[in-house]
Amino acid sequence: MILRVRITPWKLPMMTVHLAFMKHLAAFSSGRVVVNEYAATDKLALRLPDSLTKSTESIAGYINANFKTENEKARAIFIWIASNIKYDVENMFALNFYEKKEEKIAKPLKTRKGICENYSALFTDICSKTGIKSFEIEGYTKQNGFADYIPHAWNAALIDSTWFAFDPTWGSGYVSGGKFFPKINNEYYKAAPSSLITSHMPFDYLWQFLYYPISNQEFYEGKTMQNRSKPFFNYIDSIGLYEKQSHTEQLRSSASRIERNGIKNSMIFDRLQHIKLEIEQDKQSKSVNLYNSAVTDFNGAINDYNTFIQYRNKQFIPKKPDPEIRKMIDSAEIKIKASKSKLGEIVNPDENAIAMIQQLNKSLDEAAVRVKELQDWLKKYFSKSTSDRKMMFYDKIETK
């Protein structure tokens, strides 16, 4: 029997020849029987009714109801995605890391087709709904000794306190001659990070899950063995810190790691530039939100001031306890201080924003003077007897 294996002459973001296939071929030649250790789990996972595949919530519900351990759940998620989502060859170059998560997930569930970002988004979302911590990883890959020229996305998940790598895209089949051929490849299920690094390179070395991260230069040269002469990188603690950071802090730390690991190709450069742009957009968005919130506080302070004036003009009728009356005007002072504090948090505003901030600060200062006058008047009012208090209502206090 003649066996012909043809390798496509250009690289796609999937393996064209699988290690798993070669192992099966070797086993066939030697007479050994290859046993699928996941057969029972796979069988039950693939019984998932089509009516429950319209959302990740219902898929996760089935998995939670039928599987107990993290190992079983992770396998069920992987095998269902790899078996039911076909690689969308026609749109393989339409990778968009910045597409909304909901859209990345909805498309493959509806069409049963997708590219790497759809596979990885599905995997992480279902994992999160079954109690498994998982991350989507962005980077690039290497096949047959050559780095690909379009980015790739895959996953990592924490299974029984250990991080493993998952690539449901490469695990679902391969592309040859411009066509997708379904074939489950368990090389990309629960892979050791030290093994996957030979073919998958994250943009941010945090997601290598290695104590001695590989540089982009070393990845190109195929030097992916752990080099313990390098500085030790505690990725476990670093991931813990990452999870506690704000979105902007995560972006800043990621950009720093990407730069330190070397800008080896245009994919890394583009990703870094987008992160820097996102940092700037986050900063601007935060400034806008702070300003708008400061305006809301200012308007609230003016409303409280005018409410107090109206109540004072009615000679504090209906009657309220003194502390409650004092609270009415003190609330205006609190909101003025909150507004000024938020304006102070705005960092490096542009020229137009500076003018708006200055005008609002001026209005806040004027309001603070009016509020202080009322607080002083009220302090004097509380110090008097009931009969003397009535005389104070003839002091004019105008609303602003």
pLDDT by residue (tens digit) across 350-378? 899 999 999 999 999 999 999 999 999 99
- For position 303, what pLDDT does the model report? 97
10 contacts: CB under 8 Å, gap ≥ 6: none
Q: How confident is the model at residue 386 (pLDDT cuts 50, 70, 90)?
A: confident
Backbone angles phi, psi at 153, to 5 degrees: -135, 140
**268 falls within a domain:** no
SS3 of 127-168: HHHCCCCEEEEEEEEEECCEECCCCEEEEEEEECCEEEEECC
Q: Which of 189, 204, 228 is the C-terminal boundary of a domain? A: 189
Q: Among 138, 155, 189, where does a domain finish?
A: 189
Residue 184 shares a structural domain with residue 293: no
Please determine, for residue 246, whether its predicted confidence score (pLDDT) is greater than 70.
yes
Residues 35, 151 within the same domain: yes
Residue carrying structure tokens 């200012």:
298
pLDDT of residue 332: 97
CA of 177: how far to CAs of 72, 147, 180, in Å? 35, 19, 8
User: Of 347, 360, 204, 340, nearest to 282 (Cα)?
Assistant: 347
Number of Cα atoms under 13 Å in the Cβ half of residue 112: 6
> Does residue 146 sit in the same domain as residue 291?
no
**Is residue 9's pLDDT more than 80?**
no
210 in a structural domain: no
Least confident of 38-42, 198-202, 394-398: 394-398
Domain of 325 in residue numbering reads as 287-392
CATH code where residue 98 lies: 3.10.620
Examine residue 33 and state whether it is found in any structural domain, yes or no: yes
Averaged pLDDT for residues 225-251? 96
Q: Is residue 336 part of a domain?
A: yes
Is the same domain home to 53 and 184? yes
Tell me, yes or no, whether 247 lies in a domain. no
Residue whose structure tokens are 């209906």: 318
Give the DSSP H/E element, type plus range, for residue 173.
strand 173-176
Q: Is the peptide bond before 108 cis (omega within 30 degrees of 0)?
A: no
Same domain for 32 and 164? yes
Cβ-proximal residues to 335 (8 Å cutoff; 6+ apart), any chain: 297, 298, 300, 301, 304
Task: Give pLDDT tens digits for 119-175.
Answer: 999 999 999 999 999 999 999 999 988 999 999 999 999 999 999 999 999 999 999
pLDDT tens by residue, 300-357 = 999 999 999 999 999 999 999 999 999 999 999 999 999 999 999 998 898 999 999 9
Cβ of 208: how many Cβ atoms within 10 Å?
26
Instruction: Give domain status of residue 273, yes or no.
Output: no
187/46 Cα distance (integer angstroms): 20
With left for phi above 0 and alpha for psi between -120 and 50, is residue 344 left, alpha or beta? alpha
Burial class for 252, CB neighbours closer than 10 Å (0-12, 13-18, 19+): middle
Domain-embedded: residue 37 = yes
> What's CA 344's distance to the chain center, in Å?
28
For 79-93, the pLDDT digits (tens) are 999 999 999 999 988
Asked if 370 and 305 touch (Cβ cutoff 8 Å), the reply is yes
Q: Tell me, yes or no, whether 13 and 129 share the same domain.
A: yes
pLDDT at 31 over 80: no
C-alpha count within 13 angstroms, C-beta hemisphere, residue 100: 4
Decide if 235 contacts 206 (C-beta within 8 A): yes
3-state helix, strand, coil in the chain (%, to 5): 55, 10, 30
Which own/partner pairs from 313-320 qualify as long-range (CB within 8 Å, at least 24 positions apart)?
315/390, 315/393
- In this structure, is residue 196 part of a structural domain? no
User: Can you tell me the mean pLDDT for 11-20?
Assistant: 38
Mean pLDDT of the chain: 90
| Alpha-carbon torsion, ordered 248, 253, 259, 260, to 10 deg | 170
3-state secondary structure of 277: helix
Structure pTM? 0.76
Which domain-ending residue is among 169, 189, 209? 189
Residues sharing a CB contact under 8 Å with residue 347, sequence separation 6 or more, in sequence order:
283, 287
Across the strands, what pairs with 112? none
Residue 171 shares a structural domain with residue 314: no
pLDDT of residue 350: 87
Claim to verify: residue 6 and residue 116 sit in the same structural domain: yes
Same domain, 183 and 308: no
Quote the number of domains for the chain: 2
Q: Are 236 and 103 in contact (CB under 8 A)?
A: no
Are residues 54 and 180 located together in one domain of the fold?
Answer: yes
pLDDT for residue 23 is more than 70 = no
pLDDT over 70 percentage in the chain: 90
What's the length of the chain? 400
What is the model's pLDDT at position 97?
A: 78
**Pair (180, 293) in one structural domain:** no
pLDDT 10s digits, 343-356: 999 988 989 999 99
Q: Residue 172: what pLDDT?
A: 97
In a shared domain, residues 167 and 315:
no
- The span from the CA of 91 to the CA of 83, in Å, is 19
pLDDT at 394: 81
